[in-house]
């Protein structure tokens, strides 16, 4: 155990092992123990600065966010220690705001990219704990990065604008990993592109936006703390179907503080009445929010336009009745929209979480908006059905910026269908190659919009995974969805994708009428035979403003609603019910795992286990179906 430091920082370092505290103090003061000078090579100390503390090139898993360390450095000399001149110089170079403090490598406070030669291994993730203690320490917190002090209270959001300024519009993301623990393991999380695009447009218009990102926040109390600290002119809350109940609670917190509340996003755009009926939401912004956000920010700041009736794309209450203004036209020239204001988010926290659950740091890029296909269950209230794309040069510019500033190990192209326009796709692929902008990526597509040529080009520019909307293994169900694909196309493209070395993820939907047990067995059998690398199953959800919703609206169950991404509750009266489909999901998982074992080992025992698992799952589902139908 290292002996205590004789001269160092005022106060103590709570929450960190005592030996690590001493090492950190010695590193800042430039001191070394005699044993260190005799036996260890001199550490390569990195310059402590605002840039090095938050540099995106660091490995975020090797960062500690502890604002109390910075507060101790910023305070004057304590009763026990005198402030050394070297410590004073280091303190002046440290960032003033809560940010990442580098991992302690044995005896030096260094960027993660510059390890100390010969230094013993230390865990620089979640408070320098072992993996088991780290998991316990982070159990009530965003997993993957331990936030302390102000960083935890602010939800991990980095405010690059002056914290003393009052935001013209505080944009808030209503998704909290704390309340949805399934999603981070399966999908993400990803930074909210919608609010970040609006924030960038507000800056372009000369306004001052703020951001509360609930993704890594400890709870709603973090949002209340930010409201009290920043007192914005208005709050804009981004909401989806599964975050509706959280968004309404956030609206209540803002309304109690007399702050005007705007709500936008996919769910409010398709069901504005749901948000306006409680009285806590002043305005619902429908559709794309960039231009609407600027006009609303000016309105609540007391500038033009003075009347909400003059702003397009709004829904609000006026004398007890709900008023809908004219729809706002979609943005035609997407190159005019600036890149998302990613500097407002805590990239380190996102990178740490995605790396922990998916092995790589990951972010999103959107190259186009709109989807012209007419799937009956799909709702397009924000971007609409008209396809619009950015120029290849504009997309490549954003990718180069990502490589230079954030260095993600993977990106996801968040377009509804990345390969929808064949000519534009090949133009973008050529531009990425010419500019050396390639980053390993994954994208969404359809089995009828790829072929061998497209798949080979995708692979050449770095595609690692394609997410296909397969939906069902029954042609009858696919036709009912108006999906426009065939089961034969699924088989062909799945085998071709695997042959070219690209992973495939399937989206599947269970419970879509007129699906019965026979259709369900066809889907499970297709999963078993084709063996996608990953898959996700959801029970059919009737979104407002869709053809599916109109079909089942008279059989909807009152008061039921999903509160997490994969609740898989059947919201309408059908023949089987929620528990049956949950059993079907677990049965699919059993069959998929046993099939992968049989494929990998190719032994008689593995094949026998595969047949047993399939027979067991099939027997249980058929028996349950008979009970429900009889």
Q: Would you list the DSSP string of 303-323? A: -S---GGGSSSEEEEETTEEE
Q: How high is the pLDDT of residue 463? A: 98
Q: Exposure pattern of 176-198 as b/e (b: 16+ CB <10 Å)?
A: bbbbbeebbeebbbbbbbbbbbb
Find, among 467, 464, 475, the residue nearest to 440 by Cα. 464
Query: What is d(CA 548, CA 542) in angstroms, rounded to the nearest whole number?
Result: 6
Query: What is d(CA 474, CA 98) in angstroms, rounded to the nearest whole number?
Result: 54
Handedness of CA 93, 98, 102, 103 (dihedral sign): positive
pTM to 2 decimal places? 0.74
Side-chain half-sphere exposure of 227, counting CA atoms within 13 A: 22
Q: Which fold is adopted by the domain 148-324? A: Rossmann fold (3.40.50)
Instruction: Assign domain 360-629 to its CATH architecture.
Output: Alpha-Beta Horseshoe (3.80)
Q: How high is the pLDDT of residue 56? A: 40
Q: Domain map of the chain by residue range?
A: 18-137, 148-324, 360-629
Tokens of 567: 């609740």
116 phi, psi to nearest 5 deg: -80, 125
Q: Which residues pair with 469 in a beta bridge?
A: 507
Query: What is d(CA 425, CA 285) in angstroms, rounded to the nearest whole number?
Result: 32
Q: How high is the pLDDT of residue 157? A: 59
Query: What is d(CA 286, CA 328) in angstroms, rounded to the nearest whole number?
Result: 8
Query: What is d(CA 622, CA 464) in angstroms, rounded to the nearest whole number?
Result: 37
Contact 501/459 with Cβ under 8 angstroms?
yes
Find, among 327, 219, 227, 198, the residue nearest to 272 by Cα. 327
Q: How high is the pLDDT of residue 16? A: 40
Measured between its terminal Cα atoms, the distance across the chain in Å is: 71
Average pLDDT, 10 consecutive residues per value, the chain (630 residues)? 37 40 49 43 39 37 38 40 42 39 31 38 33 37 37 47 71 89 66 96 96 93 95 96 92 96 95 93 96 95 85 94 95 96 95 89 96 91 90 98 96 96 97 97 97 97 97 97 97 97 96 92 94 93 88 79 64 84 90 85 78 81 74
- Give the alpha-carbon dihedral of 227, 228, 229, 235, to 10 degrees: 20
């Amino acid at each position: 155990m290292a002996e205590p430091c004789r001269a160092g920082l005022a106060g103590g370092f709570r929450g960190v092992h005592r030996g690590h505290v001493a090492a950190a103090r010695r590193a800042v003061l430039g001191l070394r123990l005699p044993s260190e000078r005799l036996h260890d090579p001199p550490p390569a100390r990195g310059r402590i600065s605002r840039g090095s503390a938050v540099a995106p090139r660091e490995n975020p898993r090797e960062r500690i966010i502890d604002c109390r360390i910075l507060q101790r450095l910023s305070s004057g000399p304590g009763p026990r220690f005198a402030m050394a001149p070297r410590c004073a110089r280091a303190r002046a170079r440290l960032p003033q705001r809560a940010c990442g403090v580098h991992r302690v490598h044995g005896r030096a406070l260094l960027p993660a990219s510059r390890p100390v030669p010969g230094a013993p291994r230390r865990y620089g993730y979640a408070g320098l704990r072992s993996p088991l203690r780290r998991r316990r320490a982070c159990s009530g917190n965003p997993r993957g990065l331990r936030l302390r002090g102000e960083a935890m209270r602010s939800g991990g959001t980095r405010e690059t604008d002056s914290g003393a300024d009052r935001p013209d519009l505080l944009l808030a993301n209503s998704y909290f990993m704390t309340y949805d623990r399934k999603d981070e393991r399966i999908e993400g999380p990803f930074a909210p592109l919608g609010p970040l695009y609006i924030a960038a447009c507000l800056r372009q218009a000369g306004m001052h936006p703020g951001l509360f990102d609930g993704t890594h926040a400890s709870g709603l109390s973090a949002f209340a703390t930010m409201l009290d600290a920043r007192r914005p002119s208005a709050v804009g809350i981004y909401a989806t179907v599964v975050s509706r109940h959280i968004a309404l609670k956030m609206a209540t917190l803002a309304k109690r503080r007399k702050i005007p509340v705007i709500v936008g996003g996919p769910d409010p755009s398709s069901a504005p009445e749901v948000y306006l009926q409680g009285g806590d939401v002043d305005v619902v912004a429908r559709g794309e929010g960039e231009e609407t956000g600027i006009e609303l920010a000016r309105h609540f700041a007391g500038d033009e336009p003075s009347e909400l009736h003059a702003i397009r794309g709004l829904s609000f209450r006026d004398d007890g009745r709900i008023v809908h203004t004219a729809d706002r036209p979609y943005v035609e020239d997407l190159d005019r929209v600036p890149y998302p204001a990613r500097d407002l988010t805590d990239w380190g926290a996102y990178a740490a979480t995605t790396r922990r659950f998916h092995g790589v740091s990951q972010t999103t890029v959107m190259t186009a908006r709109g989807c012209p296909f007419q799937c009956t269950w799909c709702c397009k209230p924000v971007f609409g059905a008209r396809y619009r794309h950015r120029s290849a040069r504009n997309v490549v510019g954003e990718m180069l910026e990502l490589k230079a500033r954030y260095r993600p190990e993977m990106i996801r192209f968040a377009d509804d269908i990345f390969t929808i326009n064949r000519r534009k796709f090949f133009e973008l692929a050529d531009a990425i190659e010419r500019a050396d902008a390639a980053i390993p990526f994954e994208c969404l597509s359809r089995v009828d919009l790829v072929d061998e040529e497209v798949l080979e080009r995708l692979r050449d520019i770095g595609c690692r995974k394609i997410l296909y909307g397969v939906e069902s293994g029954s042609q009858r169900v696919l036709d009912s969805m108006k999906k426009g694909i065939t089961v034969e196309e699924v088989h062909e493209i799945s085998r071709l994708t695997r042959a070219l070395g690209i992973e495939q993820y399937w989206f599947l939907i269970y419970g879509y009428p007129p699906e019965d047990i026979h259709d369900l067995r066809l889907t499970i059998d297709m999963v078993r035979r084709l063996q996608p690398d990953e898959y996700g199953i959801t029970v059919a959800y009737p979104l407002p403003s869709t053809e599916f919703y109109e079909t089942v609206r008279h059989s909807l169950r009152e008061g039921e609603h999903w509160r997490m991404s994969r609740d898989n509750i059947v919201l309408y009266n059908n023949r089987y019910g929620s528990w049956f489909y949950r059993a079907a999901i677990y049965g699919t998982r059993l069959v998929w795992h046993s099939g992968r074992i049989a494929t990998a080992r190719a032994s008689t025992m593995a094949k026998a286990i595969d047949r047993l698992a399939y027979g067991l799952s099939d027997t249980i589902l058929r028996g349950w179906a008979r009970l429900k139908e009889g």
